[in-house]
Each structure stands twice: as structure tokens, then as C-alpha cells.
Structure 1
């Protein structure tokens, strides 16, 4: 059974949704290098993952006459999660749980049992509601809504600490030596040691190179280390 959690409150869903949709996009920058047949792609950042879900609510089993119960008694519990809380000055962060095998719980298994993304496993989805649509489809004889569909879009939400802890980023932890050849450019050196050709400036600064277009074959470069926790731009 699917259910929601906002703060310390847990809200069971009246009926399990028939489907959920998860979408994750990544942003890459194109780095154009003269003489190559195509640009190099450098990872910039991930975009917030989104979850789209449709929930169904029905209170018509209580009757459609004088004893009818408004479906809003159920839908308003969810709709309130898109309202601004006075204390936080923003809508609350919510989590959705949906039993065992939640998408993302088997991440390491997708990498031949490796542990590279173990920290990014999940058994729920935490985020904030960025869109909500209520559609009422059945009414009592007195005009009371008895049946509704709620379509929600939820954007992933993680604090900076949570993201850094999950990623557990590793970087080259020592300075490398590299002897320039006639075909080398600083961007190719950065690509070899950092897998990021845009980091050629780090190599230039570390070796006092003012003009990266004038390189001497045979020159020994010190490729600076990227220490743990240091941002790579």
C-alpha cells in the first residue's frame, strides 16, 4: 500500500495508484576543440528528478444522498501538502513509500554488483510538490463531490549534505607527472588525468603557463591533484 509522510505525519493512500512516472535529466556542456570531428561532452550537473503520480479517491460508498461524505475529506489531506507552512515559509517536504523493490533500491545490482553508487540507493522518494491537479468526476444529489483524481508532480529534494554524503565523490589524490609530446594540448592532458578537458586551466596555472598555445615537446608538467572535497568547475 502506498503512503505519504510529511514530517511526523503518515497519510495512507485510499487506493494504490496504477502507475508512477520517474524522470531524471542530466546536463552536459559541449566543449569544442579545433580539429576534432565533434565536440567533447563534459558533465555539468544533474537536474532534479521528478515523480508524476495519479491518485484516485472515492467516498460514494457512504451514499449519495443526505448521508454522503465529501471526497474532500480525503483529497484535502494531500492538497494541504502544496500549501505554505507558516513556520517554514514554504510547502513541506514529503516522502512517498510504495512497498519493497521501489525504483532505485537496486542501483548497485545494475553495475555488476559493484558498490560505486550504493550511497544513492533509495526505498522512497522525497521531494516537494511542484504541481497538483484535482479533477472531480462524481457528485451527490446535493452537489457534494464524491469522486476525484489527483495528479501530482513532485520534484526531488535533498540537502547539500545529503547529496555530498550520497555521492561520496573521489578525486585524484596526488600530483601526476606528464611529459608533453608534439601532439599534446593542455585540454588533452586534462582529459587524460581528470576526464574533464575543461580543467586545462588548472594544469596551466599549476605550471605557470601563460600561453597554452605555445607548448614545448619534452616539457615535464606537474598535473595538480584534486584534493577531496575541492570543487571542480
Structure 2
């Protein structure tokens, strides 16, 4: 029997995984594999770099920028859902499957370390758009309803931000995980933001706060140099 047309078409899917058990570890077991009915017709990939300039009152031109670091990849895509054919299942069920990635997993709640799942968008052999990350945004537009108000068509917009598995606080020249780093505050910085960047856990900001005797994690003076302990140095206080 001849293969039906489209049987060899690579189907896009979203892999939803348990968050890492500890900082620097890889994602845990797969919670759900959400296969898309229709492949996206457009993907938007962005990656940023961060630069810092120190204003010079005497220089006629702008000061040379200082490279601070490379930002994560961000992927945005739209997923079309259609349940006008009864064999395609429920639109709301598919949306609920995707929304699993927006809330803490039962396993992380049981360990008293709430964290939402990590995700990975997979589509055939694509590499630049396939990376471990977290769902940073999720929205749904319903466009068709049954006579009883049940949604029959919807478009889901997903935003995925790359999550690194590099061991935070590690000095590449020494290989020691207990190396302490420093961070110079720039406008807009906060301790939860810094903790997420360094440890992969925004709730670990207390480690940095205690090391620098900071009371308010949201108010940091630009230019201040903060001590960033290795994660193991402050785990007992989290």
C-alpha cells in the first residue's frame, strides 16, 4: 500500500520537561510531548549581547563599549489549533497541555522548590531553534466557536527563552564551583534578576543579599560592585 501524502513530513512539537534538580544540571524527565497539528509558517529567533559604557565628561565622542556578556536566544512562534473535525480532539484540551509549561510542576512543589517546566521546541533537524528554555510568554486568540460556546479554532502565541545549563559561579580558568564572582550593578538590575542569571533560580536572591548585607532586593545603586557567592555557599539559607 502506497504511503499517504504527507507521511514523511516532519511535525513540530513542544517537549515539556521537569526543571533541573539542581543548578547546572540538565532538565529532568519528560512531562508531556505536545505535537502540533500544523507546522508553524513563521519562526522568529533573536539573541542579544549586553554592552556597558562609562560616560566620559571630557571625551568629545562616546566612550568605547565594554562587552558584558551574551544574552539568551529567544524564540517566538504561533501554533494554530483546529477542532472543526471531531477527529482532531478538543482545542481547550490542547491549550491546557501547553499551559502545563506555565505553572510549577507537582514534583518541584513537593520538594518545596517551585519551578515551572523547561521546554524545547523540536522540528525535524532544525538546530538553531531547538534549545532548552522556559516558556516566557503564552497567549491565545480564539477565532471560532460551536453553538454551545466551545472554542473550535484558536491561535496560540509562544515565547521561549533559552536557559543555560552551565554551572554558575564557575571560573573557567580554575574549574572550581566554589569560586566567588563580582558583578557591577547597571541601571535596571535587581537581585532576583541577577540570581536567575547566575543560579537559574530567581528565588535564590537571598544568597547575594546576605553576602552584601542588602535589605531591599529591588533597589540597587548603579555602579555598586556586588559579591556573587557560589550557589553552594548559601544553599542552607534559601
TM-score bin, normalised by smaller chain: 0.5 to 0.7
Contact preservation (8 Å) 1:69, 1:146: no
Does 2:119 align with 1:94? yes
Aligned counterpart, 1:185 = none
The aligned runs of 1:18-167 (5 Å cut-off) are 18-31=41-54, 37-62=61-86, 69-88=89-108, 89-103=114-128, 124-161=130-167
Partners of 2:126 and 2:134 lie apart in 1 by 22
Structure 1 regions of 5+ residues with no counterpart? 104-122, 172-233
Shift of 1:80: 1.6
Partners of 1:17 and 1:162 lie apart in 2 by 34
Shift of 1:93: 0.4
Kindly tell me: are residues 169 and 57 of structure 1, through their superposed partners in 2, closer, same or farther at Cα, counting changes over 3 Å? same
Q: Deviations over 1:95-129 (max 9, x none)?
A: 111122432xxxxxxxxxxxxxxxxxxx7122111
Contact preservation (8 Å) 1:130, 1:154: yes
Match of 1:5 among 15, 18, 33: 15
Structure 2 regions of 5+ residues with no counterpart? 1-10, 18-29, 109-113, 175-238
Shift of 1:37: 4.0
Partners of 1:147 and 1:16 lie apart in 2 by 15
Kindly tell me: are residues 60 and 170 of structure 1, through their superposed partners in 2, closer, same or farther at Cα, counting changes over 3 Å? same
- Mean CA deviation greater in 34-43 or 149-158: 34-43
Partners of 2:168 and 2:34 lie apart in 1 by 25
Contact preservation (8 Å) 1:70, 1:144: no
Shift of 1:159: 2.5
Partners of 1:139 and 1:158 lie apart in 2 by 40
- Select the structure of larger CA radius of gyration: 1
- Normalising by structure 1, what TM-score? 0.54
- How many matched pairs? 145
- Mean CA deviation greater in 28-37 or 145-154: 28-37
